[in-house]
Structure 1
Amino acid sequence: MVSSIKRFLIGRPLKSTELGEQKLNKRKALAILSSDALSSVAYGPEQILIILVTLGIAAFWYSIPIAVGVLVLLIVLILSYRQIIYAYSQGGGAYVVSKENLGINPGLIAGGSLLVDYILTVAVSVSAGTDAITSAFPSLHDHNVLIAIIFVIFLTILNLRGVTESASILAYPVYLFVGALFILISVGLYNVITGQVSPDLHAPIGTPVAGLSLFLLMRAFASGSSALTGVEAISNAIPNFKTPAPNNAARTLVAMGILLALLFSGIVFLAYYYGVSPSEEVTVVSQIAELTFGRNLIYYFIQGTTALILILAANTGYTAFPLLAVNLAKDKFIPRMFTIRGDRLGYSNGIIILGFLSIILIIAFEGKAEHLIPLYAVGVFIPFTLAQTGMMVKWIREKPKGWIPKLTINSLGALICFLVTVIFFITKFTQVWSVLIFLPLIIYMFHRIRKHYDQIADQLRVSSCECTIPIAGNVIIIPVAGITRVVENSLNYAKSLSANQIIAVNVSFEKEDEKRFQEKWENWQTGVRLVTLKSLHRSIIQPLTKFIDTVERKAIESNYQVTVLIPEFIPKKGWHNILHNQSSLLIRTFLLYRRNVVVTIVPYHLKQ
């Protein structure tokens, strides 16, 4: 039944030879990898206004020069990541760039930041999408967390079906969103040009504002820069592109940059001209759409596509997180399970863990995207800074043809990204301080995992200078609880192994039970020696392990191997296990960590 449900949700298993069919063309890649960056148009401009509103509506005109600054940073990032795509065509993005040019720890800082950032991508995107839905239907506002969790589960299942299938489905909402916003911006600009929007709704550009400071403007710029999150995703996911992968990835990146620039600047301008103020209940895009069209079909179409893109922007995380995890796992910094492909040839372990951690974040922050966005932005600007700095080191060290312009672009990008990161820490410290705790913990965890793998490799490596002493014989111990077919099956198996000695061990709680079992055993005439142990505290494990320790000490002196054969019957149906004592599991758990004891399960399968 479980297999049938899995097949229904995920689909039939794919052959390894079908991996090439799971690669993305530029149209699908633009939708699935740009959804995070494009969706930030729905909340990036709003983050600027949230800062400026503290000075009053008259300060909203500053959103225009701030938006210009954000666009300059976008251009620098697009040009820089285009260089990264060609320089590191195997993918890995900021992690690989930082590791190879700055060292292991900077690479791990970039990789750890991005792993956390992709978890935040899912949580922020789904939470923001849920907000868009509840803006249109206020009665659902109290169910934000539940709605967000349902969407995360849906996206997790969709991505487990494979990259190509999820891209085919998600491409339509992304392009619908782009079309809807272009309609909104076009009609809005037409209304502005034709004088249908009153100029009294906004303060003229250049209006003096009391209390304004450079610090506040930088804070607004940093908040608006949250619209650039997701720009790096394409450089991480190069292996997902059809050949020639670097060329297709670079063109997709440029297309994403152009779309993001047009949509972001359009929304910022309309928000300023309409005099829209940020609100907890209604998003800025929702207000612009309502002022432009009223609450009609077009309004609900824009809200619907905005909600979809915000939710589906999480798919960027589902695409990039598993690939980044593969790079870290290959370098032995996170568990090897992240390198395993599932039935549908996707890295299913990464997908499932991403979904699980995102749900935890949504519950912890009660589905409020505004609480996550600063942490989200810091998580991506740290890798931005490290990637730009790494590329600077690369160009200075290698000095390829035409390296001066490349160095200039990366230097400018590193400087701006560093400033944005510092501003976030200074202005939103109460919201991002946790980065200073969890990031060192993640780096420490990475090193501990790597140390474990290195130690395991050293211990498992076969060396020609090492010699092993042959085992002289074998002593088999069989714990028995009664005289059954299960025990008989285990005894027959033990006899087939040509052991030097076979010992059956019974642990009893009462003296009468001990005597009765000995008599039954003698009458059974198995030819196997029986040792009965009395348990004063009604524990099976304690007397059994003491006996095994005694046998083990004597066996080591003679270079004999101690093997414990555990009889176990296997019910026909899995749920029947809860109806039986799991003493064999308990014994096995205790004995597995005995250095010189081999533990073997001898199953006996029941027919009914």
Structure 2
Amino acid sequence: MANAVPSFRKPRVKRAQNAELALGALLAVMLIGIAALIEKFAIAPVEGMTVLAQVTQAALGDGPLFYLVQFSTVVLLALAANTSFGGLPVLAQLLAGDNNLPHFFALRADRHVHRYGIAFLTVTSAALLVASGGAMNLLVPLFAIGVFVGFTLSQAGMVKHWVVDRPAGWRWRAALNGFGALLTLVAAVVVTVSKFTEGGWLIMVALPVMVLAMQWVNRSYTRIGLRLELGRTPTPPRPRRSLVVVPVHAVNRLTRESLTAALSLGDRVVAVNVTHPEDEPDGRRFVEDWERWHPDVELVRLFDAHRRLDEPLVDYLKQVPEAHVFVLIAEVEPERSWQRVLQNQRGAVLARALRRRTDAVVCRMRFRVGARTAGAA
């Protein structure tokens, strides 16, 4: 309920408080009623039948009402599972906003849902089901412990909130939340100890790992922020002399478009052709085509005995005098997604190596087949 406050209509906080009170009242009435029926009919756990089913059978018999209650239970459980898909992505968004989770958890899809949070929860839930073999007796303790730990942390946080802000009536509010935190903490300890060998140990391992992982993410974003000088006004931008390097292997429309884009980007443009010494006849034909085309762009030929594309280009970039270097890699954008398997992936390999081993700005220009213009990505 707390995570879903932004989903309520205004006044959101008041409506969420009313909904929380109604939910608590309903839960209390149902729990007391079920406990009274369990005592009345002397229900005890048995193999192959839930306690709720036994209570329903004792109260309503084996007729249609029994199956109606069972079906309603399944629907309610499905809604309860859906609640996680509505709440956890929102919580992940808040944590991502505080730099405790990767920022893509804060992104929303076209339908305003947090697709990455939903996808993460889906994969994690499926992995738990597969790992447990679908045995609910192993998963229920995990759920129970997680709930009590969450309640304990949230109520302890409210105690801190009341003590720090000290609004009117803060003492009794802090006492109420503190008492609730104590009760849920005792419940968490009892369930963890009693169910430790039945899966409770997983929570004991997972919680510290999650906290350490979020701390690592936060420290990483802090370091990135320092390097980007976030929160500081940078000096005004000034133009710098730049070099644009364009790997080429043939004279065609793709080469023309890439060089056109390069001439618009930098002060000096160099076309680089990497060949193997044994492919010298093909290299000579390329040079002849280049001279016949005469694009007024400097051509540099590099040779590598091991047929590598990245190593010669990396060595060349280390020798250029310009400090600001762009590498523009032209690629064909296929009309169909499946046609990507037909590509040689030369651009992806080259871009990965350049980003890892040089300070050059790598631009991958996607040339759409059949289109009149090319787009950069």
> What TM-score does the superposition give when structure 2 sets the normalisation length?
0.87
Is 1:275 aligned with 2:42? yes
Which position in structure 2 is the counterpart of 1:513?
A: 282
Contact 1:321 1:350 in 2 (8 A): yes
Equivalent residue for 1:451, pick from 211, 215, 219: 219
Which position in structure 1 is the counterpart of 2:86?
A: 319
Which position in structure 2 is the counterpart of 1:504?
A: 272
Contact 1:384 1:414 in 2 (8 A): yes
CA distance in 2, matches of 1:325, 1:467: 36
Which position in structure 1 is the counterpart of 2:134?
A: 367
Amino acid aligned to 2:206: F
Which position in structure 1 is the counterpart of 2:17?
A: 250
**Identity over the aligned pairs, expressed in percent?**
32
Which position in structure 1 is the counterpart of 2:109?
A: 342
Amino acid aligned to 1:364: A
CA distance in 1, matches of 2:32, 2:107: 42
CA distance in 2, matches of 1:349, 1:390: 27
Contact 2:274 2:312 in 1 (8 A): no
Amino acid aligned to 2:291: E
Give 1:486-565 correspondences, 5 Å limit.
486-497=254-265, 499-508=267-276, 510=278, 511-551=280-320, 554-556=321-323, 561-565=324-328
Which position in structure 2 is the counterpart of 1:85?
A: none
Contact 2:276 2:306 in 1 (8 A): no
1:385-443 deviation digits (Å, cap 9, x = unpaired): 23333333444555544444334423322222222222223222222222232222211
More off after superposition, 358-367 vs 496-505: 496-505
CA distance in 2, matches of 1:388, 1:494: 59
Contact 2:275 2:307 in 1 (8 A): no
Q: Which runs of 4+ in 1 moved over 6 A?
A: none
Which position in structure 2 is the counterpart of 1:57?
A: none
Which position in structure 1 is the counterpart of 2:209?
A: 441
Contact 2:274 2:309 in 1 (8 A): no
Matched residue SS, 2:45: coil
Is 1:600 aligned with 2:363? yes
CA distance in 2, matches of 1:400, 1:465: 41
Contact 1:238 1:245 in 2 (8 A): yes
Give 1:399-478 correspondences, 5 Å limit.
399-430=166-197, 431-461=199-229, 470-471=239-240, 473-478=241-246
Is 1:483 aligned with 2:248? no
Task: Could you tell me which runs of 5 or more consecutive residues in structure 1 were left unpaired when the two chains were aligned.
Answer: 1-233
Which position in structure 2 is the counterpart of 1:567?
A: 330
CA distance in 1, matches of 2:261, 2:201: 61
Structure 1 residues 403 and 526: alpha-carbon distance in aligned structure 2, compared to 1, 3 A threshold: closer
> CA shift at 1:313, angstroms?
0.8
Contact 2:263 2:269 in 1 (8 A): no
Amino acid aligned to 2:250: G
Give 1:59-78 correspondences, 5 Å limit.
none
Matched residue SS, 1:550: coil
More off after superposition, 416-425 vs 390-399: 390-399
Contact 1:507 1:543 in 2 (8 A): no
Contact 1:477 1:505 in 2 (8 A): no
Amino acid aligned to 2:309: I
> CA shift at 1:314, angstroms?
1.0
Give 1:42-81 correspondences, 5 Å limit.
none
Contact 1:565 1:599 in 2 (8 A): yes
Amino acid aligned to 1:534: F
Is 1:591 aligned with 2:354? yes
Contact 1:507 1:544 in 2 (8 A): no
Contact 1:514 1:534 in 2 (8 A): no
Which position in structure 2 is the counterpart of 1:302?
A: 69
The count of corresponding residues between Structure 1 and Structure 2 is 368
CA distance in 2, matches of 1:374, 1:299: 27
CA distance in 2, matches of 1:328, 1:384: 17
CA distance in 1, matches of 2:73, 2:97: 37
Which position in structure 2 is the counterpart of 1:224?
A: none
Structure 1 residues 435 and 526: alpha-carbon distance in aligned structure 2, compared to 1, 3 A threshold: same
1:531-585 deviation digits (Å, cap 9, x = unpaired): 332222222222222222222xx334xxxx3222212122222221211211112
Equivalent residue for 1:328, pick from 79, 84, 95: 95
> CA shift at 1:492, angstroms?
3.2
CA distance in 2, matches of 1:570, 1:318: 36
CA distance in 1, matches of 2:234, 2:13: 47
Which position in structure 2 is the counterpart of 1:110?
A: none
CA distance in 2, matches of 1:498, 1:284: 74
> CA shift at 1:304, angstroms?
0.8
CA distance in 2, matches of 1:575, 1:415: 58
CA distance in 2, matches of 1:589, 1:301: 59
Contact 2:156 2:178 in 1 (8 A): yes
1:462-520 deviation digits (Å, cap 9, x = unpaired): 7568687752x333322112222211222333344563342332323623333343333
Contact 2:303 2:312 in 1 (8 A): yes
The answer to which structure has the higher helix fraction is 1
CA distance in 2, matches of 1:237, 1:293: 36
Contact 1:508 1:532 in 2 (8 A): no
1:330-357 deviation digits (Å, cap 9, x = unpaired): 2111122233332222333322322222
Matched residue SS, 2:27: helix
Contact 2:193 2:200 in 1 (8 A): no
Structure 1 residues 402 and 475: alpha-carbon distance in aligned structure 2, compared to 1, 3 A threshold: closer
Task: Could you tell me which runs of 5 or more consecutive residues in structure 2 were left unpaired when the two chains were aligned.
Answer: 372-377
